[in-house]
Chain A
Amino acid sequence: MNVVVLSKFVPNPEGVPEMGDDFLLKREGVEGSLDPGDEFGVEAGLQLADTTGGEVTVVSMGPEAGATQAIRKALSMGAAKGVMISDPQLKGSDALVTAKVLAAAVQRAGFDVVIAGVESTDGYTGTLPMTLAELLGVPALTFAKHIENRDGTIVIQRQTETGYDVVEAPAPVVITVTAGANSPRYPTLKGIMQAKQKPVDQVTVSDLGLAEADTQPTQTVEAVNAAPEKAAGEVIEDDGNAASRIADLLAEAKVI
């Protein structure tokens, strides 16, 4: 099975995010990495490809430096090749534009299975893979915490609010994987060396056959305001009385 894994570069999740004057999250010239959520996708893709004798293509859209870093990481984990979509026209893309661009790139690469994260760490829109599936005209198995291939039918355990469901669909299919679905492998030194030789196809919007109208975002930020701050409470050291102080508050709230 040939698997396309979507991989996004995100600014350092531990760091303080920065916003530019245009109200967009700064994505250029910032420290960052392959989205930690997408590492689960890469791992799931490698496992599927390994057991079925296919290969993994990693696709990333974003500013060149970051997208390159995200793709490199996936290649060093074992993906066979990369597709990087970097185009100044795509700055400030919203979910629909991103989905159209990724759908065109995925179609161009060819796929049996497309794997994405459940949501990105920086944008957490969490709907892109479903929009992509509809654009590709294929079913989607979303929120997977376990993935299995049974003769070309993908069977997953789908996370629910109260447990999980077992759902299945024949390939071609889009899958989203939850964090914790597997243990992403660490790149080996050999993997890191090999990654430098692996092919990465660089494409632009026009290479994908998209028109300018396809890349017009439909959302604009009008204002950013500070949320009302909560008045600071009291912080005490536990000197043996903490339990009693907490119980006082519970009594005041009339819950005991």
Chain B
Amino acid sequence: MAKIWIYADVTGGKVNSGALELLTKARSIDGAEVAAVALGPGATDAAATLGEHGAATVYASDDAVYDDHLAQPAAHALKQLVDEHQPNLILFGLTYPSRDVAGRLQALTGSTLMSNASDLPSTDTAQTQIFGATKIVDVKLGGPDPKLVIFRPKSFPAEPSGGSANVVAVNAEIGDDLKKAKRTERHEEEATGPKLEDAAVVVSGGRGLQDASNFKLIEELAAAIGKAATGATRAIVDSGWVPYSYQVGQTGKTVKPSVYIAVGISGATQHLVGMKESKRIIAINKDPEAPIFKIADLGVVGDALKILPQLTEEVKKRKG
């Protein structure tokens, strides 16, 4: 019987949705014994949600040490739990804190760690997509247990099972030498509108907008549609037109809205991996050869600066 664990990121007292997706997948595996590990303020409260999604056991601690001192305490607590309970496989979501913990845990357990996984065909094989998700690679995971695998967001749907978890308190020894790194401030950007990952419509802009000031055309279209979020390519994030939190792609967010509108975006593979699973893709680009057209349901060859205001007007008109 395979023991599968999910490391659930609870930064800021909220469970990362990736953990719920991974629990949904794990509980579908025949004979799997599924548990979650949640460390940091809010962990015990999170246990209920984790249980609802398939964790039979949740190893939890609300100790602020896991939040205040970054990944070292969590990696060492996880190692102590691993030694005690011997899981075969630990699944992580692709978040910054989880990446930090997984990387460190690998050094402590000497086991294999695979990143960017997209599926789990068996408990010792994981899949990843390469070359802009045009190829799927099956990777056999060898070496000692527990195998460690980090999954891209939205690799599986998150569905509640209606279960409930047995909560086991974690009392790990965390020495002072593990508390050298510390967080001293948090800065949150003001968020308006729906979250990029959850929005039904995403309107994204790229370098084809020509100038930072033209991003407002994207915002105006999103506002006219309603329930729409705005996204961006790395090219315009790196140029400082919009904050990093807007970035869609390999090193940004993964989105799967009902409609994705790509404006002035060439369609580099690193952008495509973050949005190609969208239900419908609309692209506006002045270059008929732009790779984005290969995955678009509706491609429009034309000038974005001209079409955007017309489209915003048209949407307003139809919504009355």
* A residues 120-138 in Cβ contact with B at 8 Å: 124-135, 138
* B residues 209-262 in Cβ contact with A at 8 Å: 225-228, 234, 237-238, 244-245, 250-251, 258-259, 261
The answer to the question of A151 belonging to the interface, with a C-beta cut-off of 8 Å to chain B, is no
The answer to the question of A212 belonging to the interface, with a C-beta cut-off of 8 Å to chain B, is no
* B residues 102-118 in Cβ contact with A at 8 Å: 102-108, 110-116
The answer to the question of A189 belonging to the interface, with a C-beta cut-off of 8 Å to chain B, is no
* A residues 171-191 in Cβ contact with B at 8 Å: 173, 179-180
Evaluate contact between A255 and B100: CB separation under 8 angstroms: no
Query: Once bound together, how far apart are the Cα atoms of A161 and B105, in whole Å?
Result: 23
Which residues of chain A are within 8 angstroms of B134 by Cβ–Cβ distance?
226-227
Evaluate contact between B298 and A255: CB separation under 8 angstroms: no
The answer to the question of B35 belonging to the interface, with a C-beta cut-off of 8 Å to chain A, is no
Majority SS at the chain A contact face: mixed
Closest chain B residue to A252, Cβ basis = B280
Q: Which one of A66-74, A94-102, A199-207 contacts B?
A: A94-102
Evaluate contact between A256 and B319: CB separation under 8 angstroms: yes
**Which of the residues B105, B189, B251, B299 comes within 8 Å of A119, measured between beta carbons?**
B251
Evaluate contact between A233 and B314: CB separation under 8 angstroms: no
Which residues of chain B are within 8 angstroms of A197 by Cβ–Cβ distance?
none
The answer to the question of B129 belonging to the interface, with a C-beta cut-off of 8 Å to chain A, is yes
For the complex formed, measure the closest distance between the CB of A148 and the CB atoms of chain B, giving whole angstroms. 12
Closest chain B residue to A169, Cβ basis = B181
**Per-position contact with B for A223-256: 1 when CB-CB < 8 Å, else 0?**
1111100101111111000111111011101111
For the complex formed, measure the closest distance between the CB of A173 and the CB atoms of chain B, giving whole angstroms. 8
Evaluate contact between A220 and B140: CB separation under 8 angstroms: yes
Evaluate contact between A140 and B181: CB separation under 8 angstroms: yes
Evaluate contact between B259 and A250: CB separation under 8 angstroms: yes
**Which of the residues A125, A133, A236, A254 comes within 8 Å of B298, measured between beta carbons?**
A236
Evaluate contact between A17 and B181: CB separation under 8 angstroms: no
Q: Which one of B21-29, B163-171, B303-311 contacts A?
A: B303-311
The answer to the question of B188 belonging to the interface, with a C-beta cut-off of 8 Å to chain A, is yes
Q: A126-B99, A127-B106, A165-B185 are in contact. Are A227 and B129 (CB under 8 A)?
A: yes
Evaluate contact between A179 and B318: CB separation under 8 angstroms: no
Which residues of chain B are within 8 angstroms of A129 by Cβ–Cβ distance?
103
Evaluate contact between B300 and A131: CB separation under 8 angstroms: no
Query: Once bound together, how far apart are the Cα atoms of A227 and B284, in whole Å?
Result: 25
Which residues of chain B are within 8 angstroms of A51 by Cβ–Cβ distance?
none
**Which of the residues B75, B137, B258, B319 comes within 8 Å of A23, measured between beta carbons?**
B137
Q: A168-B184, A219-B140 are in contact. Are A237 and B104 (CB under 8 A)?
A: no
Which residues of chain B are within 8 angstroms of A155 by Cβ–Cβ distance?
184
Query: Once bound together, how far apart are the Cα atoms of A4 and B241, in whole Å?
Result: 32
**Which of the residues A132, A158, A232, A236 comes within 8 Å of B301, measured between beta carbons?**
A236
**Per-position contact with A for B116-143: 1 when CB-CB < 8 Å, else 0?**
1000000001000111011111111111
Which residues of chain A are within 8 angstroms of B265 by Cβ–Cβ distance?
none
Q: Which one of B39-47, B50-58, B288-296 contacts A?
A: B288-296
Interface size class of A (residues with CB under 8 A): 35 or more
Which residues of chain B are within 8 angstroms of A234 by Cβ–Cβ distance?
297-299
The answer to the question of B85 belonging to the interface, with a C-beta cut-off of 8 Å to chain A, is no
Evaluate contact between B251 and A219: CB separation under 8 angstroms: no
Closest chain A residue to B125, Cβ basis = A222
Query: Once bound together, how far apart are the Cα atoms of A134 and B99, in whole Å?
Result: 13
The answer to the question of A143 belonging to the interface, with a C-beta cut-off of 8 Å to chain B, is yes
Closest chain A residue to B16, Cβ basis = A161
**Per-position contact with A for B43-82: 1 when CB-CB < 8 Å, else 0?**
0000000000000000000000000001110010000000
Which residues of chain A are within 8 angstroms of B131 by Cβ–Cβ distance?
17
Which residues of chain A are within 8 angstroms of B315 by Cβ–Cβ distance?
247, 250, 256
Q: A96-B112, A249-B282 are in contact. Are A221 and B107 (CB under 8 A)?
A: no
The answer to the question of B1 belonging to the interface, with a C-beta cut-off of 8 Å to chain A, is no
Which residues of chain B are within 8 angstroms of A238 by Cβ–Cβ distance?
300-303, 306-307
Which residues of chain A are within 8 angstroms of B112 by Cβ–Cβ distance?
94, 96, 218-219
For the complex formed, measure the closest distance between the CB of B236 and the CB atoms of chain A, giving whole angstroms. 11
Which residues of chain B are within 8 angstroms of A219 by Cβ–Cβ distance?
112, 114, 139-142
Which residues of chain A are within 8 angstroms of B180 by Cβ–Cβ distance?
138-139, 169-170, 173
The answer to the question of B281 belonging to the interface, with a C-beta cut-off of 8 Å to chain A, is yes
Evaluate contact between B301 and A243: CB separation under 8 angstroms: no
Closest chain B residue to A235, Cβ basis = B299
Given contacts A140-B104, A167-B182, A238-B303, 14 further A-B contacts (CB under 8 A): A134-B108, A145-B244, A158-B183, A168-B182, A169-B180, A179-B234, A219-B142, A220-B139, A222-B125, A224-B137, A227-B134, A238-B306, A246-B307, A246-B314
What is A's interface to B at a CB cutoff of 8 Å? 17, 23, 94-96, 99, 118-119, 124-135, 138-143, 145, 155, 158-170, 173, 179-180, 217-227, 230, 232-238, 242-247, 249-251, 253-256
List 6 A-B pairs, minimum CB-CB distance, nearest first.
A130-B103, A238-B302, A218-B143, A134-B107, A127-B103, A139-B181
7 pairs, CB–CB < 8 Å, chain A vs chain B? A134-B107, A160-B186, A166-B185, A237-B301, A249-B259, A249-B298, A254-B258
